[in-house]
Amino acid sequence: MTLPALLFGMVLASAYGTAFHFWKGGSLGKLVLYVVLAWVGFWAGHLLGSALGWTFAAIGPLNAGMATLGAAVFLFVGEWLGRVEVSQR
């Protein structure tokens, strides 16, 4: 993995997280959560695609298709798990 591909991946994942935040809304804490979830999901998807030999929309050494799918899964599951409200007695 080259440094430009790594930086492009971080920028792309950050864009996914911020776009998801603008779509769903929320506080600054939610923005940070969505960006971190997008980073983790992006690189997990990239590594999973590389390990399985699946290439989809590759941009140089970056498996952007699988990485995008990974980021989407992490964002939607993280948003769903973040809906939990704690009731105080």
Q: Give the start-to-end residue ranges of the domains of the chain.
A: 3-81
* Number of Cβ atoms within 10 Å of the Cβ of 80: 9
Q: Quote the pTM value.
A: 0.87
pLDDT of residue 11: 96
Tens-place pLDDT, residues 51-85? 998 888 888 899 999 999 999 999 999 999 888 77
3-state secondary structure 47-61: HHHHHHCCCCCEECC
